[in-house]
Structure 1
């Protein structure tokens, strides 16, 4: 059972999310929080698997709450709920330790898949949001530190890198390239090690900076 803490300052949104998760097998709502301070306290008390975190809240916002929760060493992985035009907060939330972003008008089934993927250790981004986070990081220079300018990659590693940069999950990459998920995970781990990137967004930035090539399929 995956436990979820819902954090949003709008009661109606929290209620809708609770209904969705409680009607889904394998998901359980641990609690709700209306602001960042409550989120930090409930995370420490309940130790949920996933925290669905709003960014814009009064007092301690989602970025500050994410930073505190991640800094405390809690196991919870944080999936950010954002509006489509909230670009300025995306990279700071990632830098604070968020494991992904979904927009608030995401289809319910897609949101459930995102929660499950985050719980399994993946980073999750809708392709549109990933492209904008990467573009903002590259143009601002925020994500250039920590990744090698160029390294030697195998043909298959380049294929996997290109699909990571498209925002695909490990399962989607495996299906596209006719590989096992374990093999894809190994390739992603090798890419992180070789490039010095610490997450999939930085891999996408690296892909953009080194020049893309289409995956072989």
Structure 2
């Protein structure tokens, strides 16, 4: 079984898509399963795929079916696939909206290849990746925009251990790293994480981070 990070790319600009593919295929631990010319093409190929990718990198502005609608469909039909939003418009409204519908990372089209590779690896390892600017957007939007985490539970409903696990998730530690730090088993960490998802009604790990910021459970700082 391959340990490579599998992914697909969707962008209607062929030159950009092929350039991105050329960059990513240089990485030994990356595998591009296929690429798509637009959202409709992406959904068609996903439906026919024998193996689903771990990560889907999709442009937001595409004909037929744009990246926003695609992200909603993927989250509903293929929740195990992690979506990285790609766009020329790196603005607060775009970022907040994509997070609210389930995107786990956000990349500007003028990002460096190094940042793109880092983002993919962080998402594969931790389930999400928000850089300092995206976290700042989330913080700014807490009082002005609901980013999709509508919990019926008070933050005090979380146990001490659940809060500890949540804080370490926000530090972007892996399940095994959290287990080592708290002297518990990885399976126990997964149990706490599942409880956190249920209690907060978050859609994914990225949603837990948003919940923690919104509720003051973690302090937003350059360390995160």
TM-score range, shorter chain: 0.7 to 0.9
Distance verdict in 2 for CA 1:55–1:133, change over 3 Å: farther
2:107 is aligned with 1:115? no
Equivalent positions of 1:3-42 (< 5 A) are: 3-42=6-45
Equivalent positions of 1:149-164 (< 5 A) are: 149-153=154-158, 158=163, 161-162=166-167, 164=169
Distance verdict in 2 for CA 1:125–1:10, change over 3 Å: same
User: What is the Cα deviation at residue 56 of structure 1?
Assistant: 1.4
| 2:10/2:59 contact within 8 Å kept | yes
**CA deviation map 1:44-78 (0-9, x unaligned):** 22333321111112231101112223333374322
SS at match of 1:151: helix
Task: Give the aligned CA root-mean-square deviation in angstroms.
Answer: 3.5
| 1:100/1:118 contact within 8 Å kept | yes
Count of matched residue pairs: 212
| 2:85/2:106 contact within 8 Å kept | yes
| 1:147/1:197 contact within 8 Å kept | no
Report what 1:51 is aligned to: 56
Distance verdict in 2 for CA 1:155–1:82, change over 3 Å: farther
**CA deviation map 1:90-130 (0-9, x unaligned):** 33333433232233333423322332343456122223113
SS at match of 1:140: coil
Of 80, 86, 99 in structure 2, the residue corresponding to residue 81 of structure 1 is 86
Of 70, 76, 93 in structure 1, the residue corresponding to residue 75 of structure 2 is 70
Cα distance in 1 for partners of 2:207, 2:109 equals: 24
SS at match of 1:64: helix
Cα distance in 1 for partners of 2:82, 2:206 equals: 16
State the TM-score, normalizing by the size of structure 2.
Answer: 0.72
SS at match of 1:146: coil
| 1:192/1:199 contact within 8 Å kept | yes
Larger CA deviation: 149-158 vs 105-114: 149-158
